[in-house]
Amino acid sequence: MTRSKQIIVSAAILVSVTINSLIPAPPASAASASTSSMTLTQGMTSSSVSTLQSNLKTLGYFTYPTITGYFGTITAQAVKDYQKAYLLSPTGVVDTATQTSISHSIKKRLLLDDAMNFVHVPYLWGGATPQGFDCSGFIYYMFQKHGIPAVRTTSQELYNTGSAVSQANLQPGDLVFFAIASPGVIDHVGFYLGNGQFLSATRSAGIYPQSLTSSYWGPKYMGSKRVY
């Protein structure tokens, strides 16, 4: 290979690495978001355990470098860590409640990955399509698109659904609520992304990620709900 060709190939590799570093790791497949009817416990070896490990790796709890299909101590600890984070009894046993929670978490991860494709879609009062969204319209659209039961409603009505979650226990896909126009009156909602960030439809920037604790949003925060 000539020196000029080597330079071109090296540049192409550098560009590829740079772009790939900006793209999130691929999420679990839709099939792996299904719930098994089998309780999974330590000592088991099966394809269901492999799916469990893959899902927990996607969610950041299973850190072993390979998917083994064996439910050992590392998998049990990953399950316990997940259960603690999602306020489930930390038994290390994957019962129906834990499987359902993991399935929902995977679906919400897919939803959030997709939601980032709508950044900068403009704000539109009453909007619930990619031509324009208001805050609750964006929640409704994304829930509908990803098969999560939802009706078109307001931020306040959304706040009356689901289970309350403290700010310290927020997980990606939870809904966060704010009072913008009047103190104490909920009129804004967004998806919690993780790392103190949330995504919502704002009048100034359209769909855009914001800091939950910024000087603007922090004082307006009213609470969070897990609705799926």
Query: Tens of pLDDT along 9-20?
Result: 333 323 222 222
User: How far is residue 155's CA from residue 200's CA, in Å, rounded to a whole number?
Assistant: 12
Mean pLDDT of 66-90: 97
Using the predicted structure, report yes or no on whether residue 36 has a pLDDT greater than 90.
no
> By the 8 A CB rule, do 118 and 130 touch?
yes
Looking up tokens 């769909």, which residue turns up?
Answer: 207
Residue 10: the pLDDT is 33
Query: Tens of pLDDT along 121-173?
Result: 999 999 999 999 999 999 999 999 999 999 899 999 999 999 999 999 999 99
Using the predicted structure, report yes or no on whether residue 113 has a pLDDT greater than 60.
yes
Using the predicted structure, report yes or no on whether residue 24 has a pLDDT greater than 60.
no
Q: Which one-letter amino acid corresponds to residue 205?
A: A
Q: Please, what is the end-to-end C-alpha distance for the chain in angstroms?
A: 56
Q: Which of 33-47, 168-182, 206-220 has the lowest mean pLDDT?
A: 33-47
Count of Cβ atoms closer than 10 Å to residue 15 Cβ: 10
Looking up tokens 């600890």, which residue turns up?
Answer: 77
Using the predicted structure, report yes or no on whether residue 109 has a pLDDT greater than 60.
yes
Residue percentage of the chain with pLDDT more than 70? 84
Using the predicted structure, report yes or no on whether residue 185 has a pLDDT greater than 90.
yes
User: How far is residue 100's CA from residue 105's CA, in Å, rounded to a whole number?
Assistant: 9
Model confidence at 38, in pLDDT bands (50, 70, 90)?
confident
The b-or-e profile of 190-203 (16+ CB within 10 A means b, else e) is bbbbeeebbbbbbe
Chain mean pLDDT for the chain: 86
Residue 35: the pLDDT is 57
What is the reported pTM? 0.81
**Could you please report the per-residue DSSP string of 65-126?**
SS--SB--HHHHHHHHHHHHHTT----S-B-HHHHHHHHHHHHHHHHHHHHGGGTTPPB-TT
Using the predicted structure, report yes or no on whether residue 47 has a pLDDT greater than 60.
yes
> By the 8 A CB rule, do 216 and 194 touch?
no
